Structure 1
Amino acid sequence: MEVKLPELGDNVTQATVVGVLVKEGDRVEPGQPLLELETDKAVVEVPAEAGGVVKRVLVKVGDEVRPGQPFLELAEAEGGAEAPPLKAEERPEAPAPKAEEAPRPAPKEAPPAPQEAPSERRLIPAAPSIRRLARELGVDLTRLRGTGLAGRITEEDVRRAAGLGEAAPAALPAAPAPRLPDFTKWGPVRREPMSGVRKATVRSMSQAWAQVPMVTHFDEADVTELEALRKQYAKKAEEKGFRLTLTAFLLKALALTLKAFPKFNASLDVEAQEIVYKDYIHIGVAVDTPHGLLVPVIRDVDRKGVLRLAEELQEISQRARERKLSPEEMQGATFSLSNLGGIGGTGFTPIVNWPEVAILGVSRSQMKPLWDPGKEAFVPRLVMPFSLTYDHRLIDGADAARFCRHLAGILEDPLGLALA
């Protein structure tokens, strides 16, 4: 039996094989990962739809593959003979237990599939985090048809089923890029293909620039006491196995500010002429990796303390650098944060990640002389510059200024931030 590559998602016509997880002679079970593919900004796994023994592997690492292309041949084990077991490898998600098995989802527009006999059970194609969200929202995963890779159920599918939002409208087609001149007329050149991450960055940034009229507001906060508090608890965090960074405090401060200014946590539905306010706060955090910029999402930031945020941030950032993030872990953000303070710079203008309406950029903190009215003198203080880029169709300049002043006030009151 030939195993063919499933649909890879909307507007995804090809992917690169970055990992072959089985070899000839291995026995595989339904739902077990077979391939790792680089598509857009993630390395995703292709699960087996049926069990059997691997007869032949038709692709290798580095191959470009397309939906519908055969990549494996499976055969049934003769006489119930045991084939060599597949070695367990470290992966972002483990296959779900068979207790939650259900019929495999059909394509989105396909008619309802007939019920299978009790003996014909298949796995629900959903990550553990998606299963947890479905339980919280009271959504029956067995009734959903996933729109993700290989029919996997995404967070958007679950929220739509719960009546909490629809899929974002498709982006307008981009204008064709002008033809480049012949650079070889002036000297030697060399070319190299874009990685999947870079291709995705080109698409998303072009879409954002075409969709959103952006303005950037600059401000700064006195983080002297906040840095002292961070250092005070840094050792305790290290004893628990993670680093306590300023970004964790920023996440918490942003969550409190977004609650006070819900418009910054919204999206603009131009077609329906409506503002979509979200009653959850998921913040995307830009991570610099050897493969390019990735933006994993920290969920429910407003419900977590600073130490938990620091631990989760370290874990998800490490998996981003190792290319072990699932597509679901980079979807659903309501606001984004880009902290370049560890590298340098005095300010920059980050680009809004549409359909979000704002993003915060943070630059390197510096010691500056600030006037102390009580002492009637200038005193050295640690000052952090930051910049807020926003969608001017929804957010006015005065709103942005008040947002930044509120955020600065929280950062300058570390005790209140820690107790929040």
Structure 2
Amino acid sequence: MTELKLPELGDNVASAVVVGVLIKEGDRVTEGQPVLELETDKAVMEAPALASGTVFKVLVKPGDEVKSGQVIAVLGEEGKAPEAKTPAQEKLSEAPRAQEDRSAPLPAPPPSPPQARPTPGERRLIPAAPSVRRLAREMGIDLRAVVGSGPAYRISESDLRRLAGGPAPTTPTPQPLPSSALPDFSKFGPVRREAMSGVRRATVRSMAQAWSLVPMVTHFDRADITEMEAWRKKLAPRAEKRGAKLTMTAILLKAVAAALKSFPKFNASVDPEKNEVIYKDYIHLGVAVDTPAGLLVPVIRDADKKGVFTLALELGEVAAKARERKLTPEEMQGATFSISNLGGIGGTGFTPIVNWPEVAILGVSRSSIEPVWNPEKGVFEPRHIMPFSLSYDHRLIDGADAARFCRFIAELLEEPVLLGFEG
């Protein structure tokens, strides 16, 4: 018999809900074949089989909450049916199971003898927390080459730092903001309760974490996009021929990418444990997308290496996938800076929360036609003005830095020709 386990769900994804079971008892399964449809905090995805064989028993059902490494089915050897048990064997094997929670993961085994230690590089489920996986990426360490010192060879931050020749962390991990017990609202009138969606639960966690970790300040500015709007409308038909919609967000992606190359501090992260700043030599931009399920932030990779038309095309594709809940966890990871554009809805300004471990986020509000004084002509002229705001991590970025960054973006938007040179 082979236990079919759930593969890793992705960084920052603790669990998922089964929305569909794609196999049944007696089916032949091959490695890599989709066996479950899962809804995580931010996406609906298919889970592949990590082994091949004939399905003897399925241990999960729609609605169950599952975790990485959990046994989801039992397989017989490929090409042959599982051996039948005698009634006595069946009774013995089922008795202990009657008191178990089938959806719970198996307990971690005791430490194996030395010859049973995992071999570095072998294909296996890697026991490591999301924070450890993030640190490994930042340190350039392949977790497959690490054998942890914890129970069941679980990998810790200390293991990574020892491997890199550095000291183990001494500062405690910041805790989320404490919660207070709510009063009994039913004493004042009728109430109803509704379970949070996976996306909303993820938003609660990430926003509370960001608010507790990052000392944020918001800088406000405005850009005269009169000329840019004229160019956008003129070039929109050409973008449509390529299957793209030329929006201001697509143009902002290009402008922000250019700004990050000129101001690398905004494309970095703070490591307070080592008193270091991690500068990233790549530019991946997260774009907030409003969906029926909540706010999702897909990532446009290597934005600095792409033209506006290409960015517009990719933006349309990931936004559609976000609204259809078809984004994979990988498509929402790795952002170095984020953009939230509420201009299509309204508002004159807002303070977006920095998406930690990023250090800044740009918020864009609705543009409007306003009278602007032209000193050369001595008259007021109607101009298209777009308000925007920049929230930033004050541990790394000073107010003057933020003001220069915003002015740089405004100038790119006000002089469209600059976007070609700076980009």
TM-score by length of structure 2 reads 0.76
* 1:289 counterpart = 2:291: yes
Per the alignment, in what secondary structure is the counterpart of residue 239 of structure 2?
helix
Deviation track 1:315-336 (CA, whole Å, cap 9, x = no partner) reads: 1111111222221211111111
Residue identity in the other structure for 1:271: E
Residue identity in the other structure for 1:261: F
Residue identity in the other structure for 1:113: T
Of 154, 168, 179 in structure 1, the residue corresponding to residue 181 of structure 2 is 179
1:352 corresponds to: 354
2:411 corresponds to: 409
Per the alignment, in what secondary structure is the counterpart of residue 30 of structure 1?
coil
Per the alignment, in what secondary structure is the counterpart of residue 245 of structure 2?
coil
Unaligned runs of 5+ in 2: 82-115, 127-139, 149-160
Residue identity in the other structure for 1:60: K
What does residue range 53-64 of structure 1 map to in structure 2 within 5 Å? Answer: 53-64=54-65
Distance in 2 (alpha carbons) for counterparts of 1:252 and 1:23:
49
Of 319, 329, 332 in structure 2, the residue corresponding to residue 330 of structure 1 is 332
Residue 203 of structure 1 deviates from its aligned partner by 0.8
What does residue range 88-107 of structure 1 map to in structure 2 within 5 Å? Answer: none
| Contact 1:306 1:418 (8 Å CA) reproduced | no
Residue 75 of structure 1 deviates from its aligned partner by 3.3
Moved more, 55-64 or 352-361: 55-64
CA change 1:346–1:115 in 2 (3 A) is closer
Residue identity in the other structure for 2:178: P
The share of aligned pairs that are identical, in percent, is 66
1:369 corresponds to: 371
Distance in 1 (alpha carbons) for counterparts of 2:287 and 2:327:
13
2:244 corresponds to: 242
| Contact 2:59 2:73 (8 Å CA) reproduced | yes
Residue 49 of structure 1 deviates from its aligned partner by 1.2
Of 215, 237, 259 in structure 1, the residue corresponding to residue 217 of structure 2 is 215
What does residue range 309-320 of structure 1 map to in structure 2 within 5 Å? Answer: 309-320=311-322
Moved more, 181-190 or 368-377: 368-377
Per the alignment, in what secondary structure is the counterpart of residue 173 of structure 1?
coil
Per the alignment, in what secondary structure is the counterpart of residue 49 of structure 1?
coil
Distance in 2 (alpha carbons) for counterparts of 1:410 and 1:176:
43
CA change 1:208–1:114 in 2 (3 A) is closer
**Aligned Cα root-mean-square deviation (Å):** 3.1
Distance in 1 (alpha carbons) for counterparts of 2:49 and 2:314:
30
* 1:276 counterpart = 2:263: no
| Contact 1:31 1:123 (8 Å CA) reproduced | no
Aligned length: 355
TM-score by length of structure 1 reads 0.77
Deviation track 1:15-58 (CA, whole Å, cap 9, x = no partner) reads: 21123233445432212221122233233432211112334433
Per the alignment, in what secondary structure is the counterpart of residue 284 of structure 1?
strand
Unaligned runs of 5+ in 1: 81-109, 117-121, 126-138, 148-159
2:89 corresponds to: none
| Contact 1:286 1:338 (8 Å CA) reproduced | yes
Deviation track 1:116-168 (CA, whole Å, cap 9, x = no partner) reads: 9xxxxx8999xxxxxxxxxxxxx999966799xxxxxxxxxxxx9xx9xxxx9
Of 226, 229, 232 in structure 1, the residue corresponding to residue 228 of structure 2 is 226
* 1:113 counterpart = 2:119: yes
2:98 corresponds to: none
What does residue range 156-171 of structure 1 map to in structure 2 within 5 Å? Answer: 171=173
Residue identity in the other structure for 1:20: V
| Contact 2:177 2:209 (8 Å CA) reproduced | no
2:381 corresponds to: 379
Residue 374 of structure 1 deviates from its aligned partner by 2.6
Residue 115 of structure 1 deviates from its aligned partner by 8.8
Per the alignment, in what secondary structure is the counterpart of residue 269 of structure 2?
strand
Distance in 2 (alpha carbons) for counterparts of 1:34 and 1:146:
29
CA change 1:358–1:170 in 2 (3 A) is farther
